[in-house]
Structure formats: C-alpha cells, structure tokens
Amino acid sequence: MTASHPLQEPGISSRITSPCILIIFGATGDLTARKIMPALYNLVREGQLPAQFASVAFARRDKNSEQFRCEMKEKITAFSRSGPLEEEVWNTFKEQIFYHRAEFHDDAGYESLKRLLNELDAKLGTRGNRLFYLSTQPAFFSLICKKLHQHQLLYDEAKIKHRFSRVIIEKPFGHDLASALALQQELRKFLVENQIFRIDHYLGKETVQNILVFRFANTIFEHLWNKRYVDHVQITVAEDMGVGTRGRFYEEEGLCRDILQNHMMQLLALIAMDPPVDLSSDAIHNEKVKILEALHFCPANLFQQTAVRGQYGPGYSGGRAAPGYREEENVSPDSLIETFVALRLFIDNPRWDRVPFYLRAGKRLPKKATEIAVVFKSPPEVLFTTPQMHQDPNVLALRIQPDEGISLKTNCKVPGPSSPIQPVKMDFRYSSYFGMSAPEAYERLICDAILGDRTLFAREDEVMASWKLFTPLLLRWQQETPEPFPNYAAGTWGPKAADRLMATDGHQWRLL
Ligand code: BG6
C-alpha cells in the first residue's frame, strides 16, 4: 500500500485497488504502447494492482494475445520509467494481457467481448468490475458507449451497487462547444457522471498535484497571490518534438485543441483558483470551474490583439535538420493548422482583475519545458536607484517538467564595497530532494479510476467552460487566413508576433 495522497478524495483512504478488468479500445495506438501498458507494468511491479486484474486490448488489427504480448514487452522495455524490464514482473503481468480483435461498430465483437470478460471473471476473480478506456479517435467515443450499453456491458449504477463499470475518455472531449455538448448528451444516455472519467494526463503529474499543496499548505504565498502583488503570470508548454506520426490527428485538431483547451486550462485553473472548502473532488472542481468561467480575452473578440498562432517550417531540432509541419506524414502541403499558440487572458474576479495571464504552447520549440511563472510587481525605485542597483521583479517559477522543481528569484547584494544588485535563485529540485523518479501520470490516473476517485479528472462543467472560451477563437481562426504559414522555423521560440504580444504590455517571455 502506498501513502495516501493529500489530493485524494476523502473516504478513499486505501490505495489498494479493487479487482477489475481494464478494456482498452484502440489498443494498437501509440498511447497504449507508450503510456498505458508501461503504466500498468509499473503498477504491477509496485504491487498497486490486485492479482485479480486483467487488461483486454480491443482493436481492429488482426493478431492474437501472444503476438500482442510480445509487442507490448518491447514497448514496455522501451518506454517504462523503471529501467530494464524485470522478467519476474513481466511473467506475472503478461498473463493478465489479452487481445480481442473486433471492429468498433460490430455487434458480434461486443458479444464475444462479453463472453471473454465473463470467462476472465470466473478464472481470475475480477468480480464483474469493468473499466473501459477509450483511447480511440474522438469520433468513436459515443458509438463505443452506445454499443457497450446495448450489449449490457455498462451497468445501471442506480440498480447495481456491488460492481462497477466506468469509462475513461481521452481528450479532446469534443471539437468545440456544440460537439462537446452533443457528446455529453450522448454519453448521459448510457452513463451517469460518476461513471465518466475525462482524462487529462497533466492532472496526474506529481508537480501539477503539488500546485495546490504548495499554494495552500504554505502561509507565505497566499496573501501575495492576487492583483495587488502579482504583475502577470506566464504559462509555457514547450515541446521540442514535431507532430511525428500524429499528422492525421493534428490536421483534425491543431495545437489549441490538443494542449490549450485542456492541459493549459487545468494548469491555469489550479494556479488561479481560490482555496476549496475541503479536498473533496467536488470542492476542488467547484473552484476550478469558477476560474474557467471567469476567463476572457481582452479586448473581447479582438483576437488579433490577444491570440497568436503559428506553424513550424523546416529548421533544426537537437542539432539535426527537422522538416516543417507541412512536410510531416499525413499533413496537407498547404495546411493552415496551428502548431503554436500564444494568448493573453484575464480572469474576471476580484483576486485577478486586470492581471494578464500569458499562455504559450508549441511543437518544435528549442526544448521541452513546462513552466508556470508568477511574476511579482517590481519594487518601487526609491532606494536602489543607480543603474547597477537595477532590481528584477521577483519570480516564482514552478517547473512542471523536466527538471521538476520550484525556484524563487530574489535580488541580492553582490559582496563587496560597490554593492551592485544581482538577481539570485532559491531553487528546490524534486530529484535532489526526494531522490526518486515520480510515478507516471497514467499510473496515478488509472489507479484513481479503479478506485472511483474523480478528483484528478476533468468535470463536465470545466470542459464546457473551456470550450466556451475557445470556440469563438477557433471559429474566427477558421474564417480568417492566418499570416503566411509557416511563420517560425523548427527549433525556435515561435513566431515574432508572440514576442510582440508581450512587448505591447512591456513584458517578455521568460528564457527557458
Ligand atoms: C498530449 C498531446 O496530450 O500531451 C501531445 O496530445 C503532447 O501532443 C503530450 O505531446 C505532451 O505530454 P507531456 O506529458 O509529454 O507533456
């Protein structure tokens, strides 16, 4: 048993998960190989899954369980955070992996799935508990839920209490506000909200969970956390990788739907929310949703002044030539899809009135780095007035990844008689302090879904509030021709317009 977590729903005190079967739809995709299977392997390795557990891969490709196991062994070896594969763990885990070939629309496939699950219940003692993980293209979410319902694979929670059936839904949940509402309406025909787990893997990251602990378990920051002391906030999600093999997905979604609408909104909500009344899932979601509903672009609807989009062209990444987005696999040669976004947002509430929140995210930037920086107001220049005594504003930077940690920039007198001032950093690093590799987000989230804890999953109203903010922008982008794409070279920090957005306000992006 692992220690209970401060952000765990009260009443769920044990991390020992119930017997259950995890059924992964779209299991031959990248996510299963890179994230889900390595996460399950590590959960088995750390004894966080019960012996009465199985995973069933539901996918269209023709293969059998033995072939699928061999493929997964390779992938776990390549992607597991815990180093070389431990044969003993693998030998236990592989017996819990099954492959079920079927089409998503094919009734016979769901009937044979039902038979397989019943057999596994009898053989392994999984007690009828089901966790369906929809790791497919978003277009299949409602079809799969409908079929699961038609074949009695989803239980009516009002009547059946002794076993559970839950559905994990990958992002993006909808394509805009209307489609998200329609999807939600479809799902609610077959499921109650408690059965729906909208995954946003950023919430499973240790450093993201720590935001609330850092803010509310320390007294020294909360009274500074407002418009009186904070000048602005910068949130960056930078990736050095391009879209790789996900060209088709990107052509449909683009970066705003992939990163901004979900991951970055969650980061922003956690950094800006008021303290929840307690640590229950609903209390936390209630505060987050207030922030998401209070967000707005300013001046409203003048997106050209508050939102910048970009697309990478050829350039260099990690010292090697890198193709432009339009040259990637399954991408149209004249695509207008964005791979970079920078925004200025405001939160309409007393705490944050007129404090700009700058967000930027992009593919093929110079490095991978996710950071939230709270930039405090500059001290009044009344005491230290000579040029050598220039004081930088204090900055509290929460490094979400990599090199996870927190640093506080302060001004310091350089030793010696001439007394110039220089900024210095107080730095905390998870790796040197705790000395262990944090569990992967998916490990935490899969366990939480088995436990029925929805704290770290997005609630319906959060998703809708976020779509309400972004839908007008996305619509405008669809109607307007962007400045000529590509407008930044791979391996650079995005289009110049992103710098101008900051410069207009007398700010600049932090050097990461
Ligand atoms: C996923 C996006 O949700 O998050 C990807 O679909 C992105 O495009 C990934 O690369 C980033 O996740 P992380 O955990 O590496 O920051």
Give the span between the Cα atoms of 122 and 54, in whole angstroms. Answer: 12
Give the span between the Cα atoms of 419 and 339, in whole angstroms. Answer: 46
Q: What domain count does the chain have?
A: 2
Give first-to-last CA distance, the chain, whole Å: 38
Residue 480 confidence (pLDDT): 87
Residue 71 confidence (pLDDT): 94
For ligand 1, the distance from its centroid to the CA atom of residue 430, given in whole angstroms, is 21
For ligand 1, the distance from its centroid to the CA atom of residue 171, given in whole angstroms, is 11
Give the span between the Cα atoms of 501 and 356, in whole angstroms. Answer: 11
pLDDT of 421 > 50? The answer is yes
CATH number at residue 51: 3.40.50.720
| Whether residue 223 sits in one domain with residue 158 | no
| Whether residue 320 sits in one domain with residue 186 | no
Whether 200 lines ligand 1, by a CB cut-off of 6 Å, is no
**Residue 263 designated active-site:** yes
| Whether residue 244 sits in one domain with residue 191 | no
pLDDT tens sequence across 65-117: 999 999 999 999 999 988 889 999 999 999 999 999 999 999 999 999 999 99
Residue 2 confidence (pLDDT): 37
Residue 11 confidence (pLDDT): 42
CATH number at residue 213: 3.30.360.10
Residue 40 counted as domain residue: yes
Cα–chain center distance at 484: 30
Residue 16 counted as domain residue: yes
pLDDT tens sequence across 104-161: 999 999 999 999 999 999 999 999 999 999 999 888 999 999 999 999 999 987 787 7
Candidates 35, 259, 261: which one to mutate for ligand 1, based on the most atoms within 8 Å of Cβ? 259
Residue 372 counted as domain residue: yes
Residue 451 counted as domain residue: no
Task: Write the CA distances from 331 to 22, 484, 494, integer angstroms.
Answer: 33, 17, 20
| Whether residue 326 sits in one domain with residue 281 | yes
The residue whose C-alpha atom lies closest to atom 15 belonging to ligand 1 is 239
- What is the number of the ligand 1 atom nearest to the C-alpha of 263? 3
Residue 368 confidence (pLDDT): 96
Tell me if the bond preceding 486 is cis, omega within 30° of 0: yes
- What is the number of the ligand 1 atom nearest to the C-alpha of 200? 3
| Whether residue 317 sits in one domain with residue 434 | yes
pLDDT of 1 > 50? The answer is no
| Whether residue 285 sits in one domain with residue 170 | no
Give the span between the Cα atoms of 64 and 452, in whole angstroms. Answer: 31
For ligand 1, the distance from its centroid to the CA atom of residue 240, given in whole angstroms, is 11
Q: Which residues pair with 320 in a beta bridge?
A: 317
* CA dihedral sign, ordered 294, 295, 297, 301: negative
- What is the number of the ligand 1 atom nearest to the C-alpha of 202? 14
Residue 248 confidence (pLDDT): 92
| Whether residue 162 sits in one domain with residue 89 | yes
Residue range(s) defining the domain that contains residue 146: 6-198
Give the span between the Cα atoms of 365 and 342, in whole angstroms. Answer: 13
Whether 258 lines ligand 1, by a CB cut-off of 6 Å, is yes
Catalytic entry in 263, 285, 296, 507: 263
**What number of residues does the chain have?**
512
Binned at pLDDT 50, 70 and 90, residue 15 comes out as low
| Whether residue 192 sits in one domain with residue 210 | no
| Whether residue 240 sits in one domain with residue 192 | no
The residue whose C-alpha atom lies closest to atom 5 belonging to ligand 1 is 258
Which of 14, 464, 463 has its CA nearest to residue 200? 463
| Whether residue 50 sits in one domain with residue 134 | yes
- What is the number of the ligand 1 atom nearest to the C-alpha of 258? 6
For ligand 1, the distance from its centroid to the CA atom of residue 349, given in whole angstroms, is 30
| Whether residue 368 sits in one domain with residue 230 | yes
pLDDT tens sequence across 445-484: 999 999 999 999 999 999 999 999 999 999 999 998 878 9
Whether 176 lines ligand 1, by a CB cut-off of 6 Å, is no
Percent of the chain beyond pLDDT 70?
A: 96
Half-sphere exposure of 246 (CA within 13 A, CB side): 18
Residues 86, 45 contacting (CB under 8 angstroms):
yes
Whether 253 lines ligand 1, by a CB cut-off of 6 Å, is no
pLDDT tens sequence across 165-187: 999 999 999 999 999 999 999 99
Domain final residue, candidates 153, 169, 198: 198
The residue whose C-alpha atom lies closest to atom 13 belonging to ligand 1 is 202
Q: Which residues pair with 132 in a beta bridge?
A: 23, 167
Contacts of 62 (CB under 8 A, 6+ apart): 101
Whether 239 lines ligand 1, by a CB cut-off of 6 Å, is yes
- Average pLDDT score over the chain: 91
For ligand 1, the distance from its centroid to the CA atom of residue 237, given in whole angstroms, is 9
Residue 162 counted as domain residue: yes
For ligand 1, the distance from its centroid to the CA atom of residue 356, given in whole angstroms, is 25
Binned at pLDDT 50, 70 and 90, residue 27 comes out as very high
Binned at pLDDT 50, 70 and 90, residue 298 comes out as confident
Give the span between the Cα atoms of 175 and 157, in whole angstroms. Answer: 28
For ligand 1, the distance from its centroid to the CA atom of residue 113, given in whole angstroms, is 31
- What is the number of the ligand 1 atom nearest to the C-alpha of 370? 16
Residue type, 221: F
The residue whose C-alpha atom lies closest to atom 14 belonging to ligand 1 is 202
